Amino acid sequence: MKQEKKSFRHESLQDAKSIEKILAAISESLGKGKLQFSDEEDEITFQPEGLMNLKLSAAQDGNEQSFNIKVSWQLDSDKLKNKTLKVGH
């Protein structure tokens, strides 16, 4: 059964120490197998397991520097592995 689409987005200005604490909390939660993100407007909870895809990118454009970290995984990955691809000709 296809999962309902849910999303969470938060944007704020933080200093480096605050971001370090947020990244440490994400790391710790990921290690415990439960990620919960919330703010005054919304919340979302994940229970990741199995192999995950990590994508890291960094860029500089003039005075602006940025980096992005994306971690993704599939629910019911065992079901995906068992699917057989058939190609007709």
pLDDT digits (tens, 9 = 90+) for 15-43: 999 999 999 999 999 999 999 999 998 99
- Mean pLDDT to the nearest integer, 70-89: 76
> How many CB atoms neighbour CB 83 within 10 A?
7
pTM equals 0.75
The per-residue pLDDT for 83 is 67
Model confidence at 4, pLDDT cuts 50, 70, 90, reads confident
Determine which helix (DSSP H) or strand (DSSP E) holds 27, and give its type and residue range: helix 16-32
Q: Quick check: 13 and 34 in contact, CB under 8 A?
A: no
pLDDT of residue 76: 74
